[in-house]
Structure 1
Amino acid sequence: MIKYLGSKRRLIPSIVGAVAALPEARSVLDLFSGTSRVGLALKASGYRVVANDHNAYAATLARCYVQADRERLLSDASTLVAELNALPGSPGYFTETWCERSRFFQPKNGERVDAIRESIARRGFDPELEAVLLTSLMEAADRVDSTTGLQMAYLKEWAPRAHQDLALRVPELLSRAQHGAGEALQQDALVAAEREVDVAYLDPPYNQHKYLGNYHIWESLVLWDKPEVYGRACKRVDCRTRSSPFNSRPRFVEAMRAVIGRVRARWLVVSFSDEGYVTREEMEAMLATRGEVRVIAHDYKRYVGAQIGIYNPAGEKVGRVGHLRNREFLFVVG
């Protein structure tokens, strides 16, 4: 899977364990699905998963990992990945924007991305198969990027992996879950929250950093709308206008309360960090309106970018990081 700030890779066993402990739970809504790492793990455990995210790249990942089933798509996906891997590079929008105007990828790999993405766009695959191929392309590009894991900036010196050749792989497709087919949504959280499920898993944004800005290249790669860009990172112009109340300190509490109240699931499982806008106690108070709250705490090192330090746009170190570890809380409610 792609590198992702906020990924719950280390928390997966606790999340799946928390859901497994809920009696007769068979379906789970992942309301802020991101990479769909949680949804994939829940699908592997047999749950019918509904994964939702308002960003197009995240909805594509969910369509691949949650909605698409191995038995229907693996053969075609394997054949097409081999065909796409054989395409020669052809420079275009991706190369110009993120290899020449900025330096996220080596031009040789940008040219391959351009050729493969144009081929996918021309051929009009059904949505699930297209999602599998786009996920394969995202993950291949992620393996040869030159970042710390965020697309707000690229490294001053090329990352060693950036010199490798782009190579697509078939994503980890799972068979249909025991309790039913998965589904991928791209809706506002308040709309998706009304889906009828047994468990709702909530992992909302924690702070002012928008995932769209952090992963704008994937959004443009999936939409393939070739937008105008700005700044040294060549971000999509709509990074300036697309916003979420969860990324706003004044609006966060109201937005979180609204989602908690709208969810129709019997149980809630909520991930939240001590780097977020509210304290553990404040989150517990909000969730207590839905029932008894149990809290599991985990201590982790912060992501690698935080450990490197604080730099200005010229690449000069201008400050020290306040802390190198954070606590992740898992709230089980109901």
Structure 2
Amino acid sequence: MNSTDSETPDKSLYTTSQIITYMGNKRKLLPIIENVVIDIQKELGNKPLKIGEGFSGSGVVSRILKTNAAELYTNDLAGYSTTLNRCYLDNPTENTQKMIKKHIDKANQLAEKNESKEIGDGWISKHWSPSGPTIKDDERVYFTDTNGKRIDSMRNYIETIPKKYQPYVLAPLLVECSIHNNTNGQFSSYYKGMYGGKTQTDTKRITQKIHIPYPIFYDSPCNHHVSQMDTNEWAKKMGNKTELDIVYYDPPYNKHPYNIYYFLLDIINDWDKSQEIPNTYRGQPDTRVKSLYNSITHAKNTMLDLINNTRAKYILLSYNDGGIIPIAELDTLLENTDREITKIPIEHKTYNRLKGLSNYKRTSEYKNVKEFLYVIKRK
């Protein structure tokens, strides 16, 4: 079902389709997070909820939050995440959807027309895909030569359309670029010299032509607000603006910043051809900013600053037991915020709404658990 259908698509389709391939993706947590949100709403007297998400990433959690919120505030420092949220969290009018379809059809037509031609102002085809069907030793192979040209054609066209329509055409293009590439799912490396590497892994996915689908929307009475800034600063800004009922945080938990793994999505999103492309393996511009959450020295204080400056009745926090902050130290840090802490193990679908939050009070030890969802209630 696409955006031009008269009926609202099924919620499960909306929360599982057209989502970028993403490390740390919280798709497996969606039922748990949603059930916790439903229980919190009951505790708050079934009032309409103001909800926020500070590290939105792929936007998949924000989609499920949208289906439960009256007001939704999302934030991420990455430009591609901002574009995804501006598209998929929106409720465009019928007339706007007609214009979206028109521009997507045109972008796809241009891609078909130009895929066998030399793109004069090529950007992806120049730096991140081979120059032809035969891959040369010194060429980066993130995309096929055909898809490199298709991306260039479509992205160049998107730059020419009115800005208000751009996110709706660009977001589904980003999703397709995250799928049909010559990598194992992220852009820190690619299969060198051939598609799928020596074992020719997953060549059908890699070589399939990139085609922009119509975005899937979910029409719900939810006002959404999208920000692109440092999350700790966002929390302070939101605190000065309004009190939220629930905020969900999924901060970086190891020393590797996500912008290494997804830099090409930002390249395609930003389309800044003035950037200098270094003669390196990835060809990643030297614009990386390492998050304080990736720092052993600063992660704990940064986390404490975030919790203390979040003005919300409830904070939901995901964290991995292999993270920079050891779980025991995170437990202590959260206890010292003088809030009521509930700790839910999420290795499997362990949260049971029939039990409710009270069964997960921090009185148990959990073994072999990869991740936890903390429910942090203001006293």
TM-score if structure 2 supplies the norm length? 0.76
Q: Equivalent residue for 2:344?
A: 296
Corresponding residue of 1:207: 254
Q: Find the residue that maps to 1:269 and give its secondary structure.
A: strand
Deviation at 1:210, TM superposition (A): 1.0
The share of aligned pairs that are identical, in percent, is: 26
Q: Take 2:161 and 2:319, find their aligned partners in 1: how far apart are those partners?
A: 41
Per-residue Cα deviation, 1:119-162 (whole angstroms, up to 9, x for no partner)? 11122321xx2112111111122231111111000124413112
CA distance in 2, matches of 1:34, 1:13: 18
Match of 1:237, SS state, is coil
The Cα offsets for residues 14-72 of structure 1, whole Å up to 9 and x where unpaired, read as 11111111124601110000011000111123442111001111111111122x21435
Aligned to 1:228: 276
Runs of 4+ in 1 over 6 A off after TM superposition: none
The residue type paired with residue 209 of structure 2 is: D
Give runs of aligned pairs for residues 158-173 of structure 1, distance below 5 A.
158-159=195-196, 160=203, 161-173=205-217
Higher helix content, 1 or 2: 1
CA distance in 2, matches of 1:5, 1:329: 17
Report SS of the residue matched to 1:3.
coil
Q: Counterparts of 2:61 and 2:100 in 1: how far apart (Å)?
A: 23
> Out of 171, 192, 195, which is 2:234 matched to?
192
**Number of residues of Structure 1 aligned to a counterpart in Structure 2:** 303
Match of 2:61 among 34, 38, 54: 38
Structure 1: which 5+ residue stretches go unaligned? Answer: 301-324
- 1:199–1:265 contact (8 Å) kept in structure 2: yes
The amino acid across from 1:3 in the alignment is T
Q: 1:84 is matched with which residue?
A: 107
Query: For 1:80-229, what aligned pairs fall within 5 Å after superposition?
Result: 80-87=103-110, 88-89=113-114, 91=119, 92-100=122-130, 101-126=139-164, 129-156=165-192, 157-159=194-196, 160=203, 161-175=205-219, 177-178=220-221, 180-194=222-236, 195=238, 196=242, 197-226=244-273, 227-229=275-277
Change (3 A) 1:70 1:267: same
By how many angstroms is 1:74 displaced? Answer: 2.6
Decide whether the 8 Å contact of 2:52 with 2:247 is kept in 1.
yes
Q: Which moved more, 1:286-295 or 1:55-64?
A: 286-295
- The correspondence for 2:326, drawn from 279, 288, 293, is 279
Equivalent of 2:309, from 249, 255, 262? 262
Look up the SS of the partner of 1:276 in the other structure.
Answer: coil
Could you tell me how far 1:266 is from its partner in structure 2?
A: 1.0
Partner SS for 2:93 = helix
Unaligned runs of 5+ in 2: 1-18, 131-138, 197-202, 349-367
Secondary structure, counterpart of 2:190 in structure 1 = coil
Instruction: Return the alpha-carbon distance in structure 2 between the equivalents of residues 164 and 326 of structure 1.
Output: 37
SS at the partner of 1:198? Answer: strand
Using the alignment, how far apart are the partners of 1:155 and 1:60 within structure 2?
A: 28
Q: Deviations over 1:190-241 (max 9, x none)?
A: 22113221111110001111111110001111111122233211112212xx
CA distance in 1, matches of 2:264, 2:187: 7
Letter in 2 for 1:95: S
Superposition RMSD in Å? 1.8
One-letter code aligned to 1:34:
G
Deviation readout 1:80-122 (Å, 9 max, x if unpaired): 2111111123530111111033101001011010011111112
1:332 corresponds in structure 2 to 375
Tell me, yes or no, if structure 1 residue 51 matches structure 2 residue 74. yes
SS at 2:253 equivalent: coil
CA deviation profile, 1:288-313 (whole Å, cap 9, x unmatched): 3151111111227xxxxxxxxxxxxx
Write the letter of the residue equivalent to 1:199: I
2:359 corresponding residue in structure 1: none
- Code of the residue aligned with 2:347 in structure 1: it is D
Where 2:51 maps in the other structure, the secondary structure is strand
Q: Give the partner amino acid of 1:216.
A: F
Partner-residue secondary structure (3-state), 1:193: helix
TM-superposed CA distance for 1:287, in Å, is 2.2
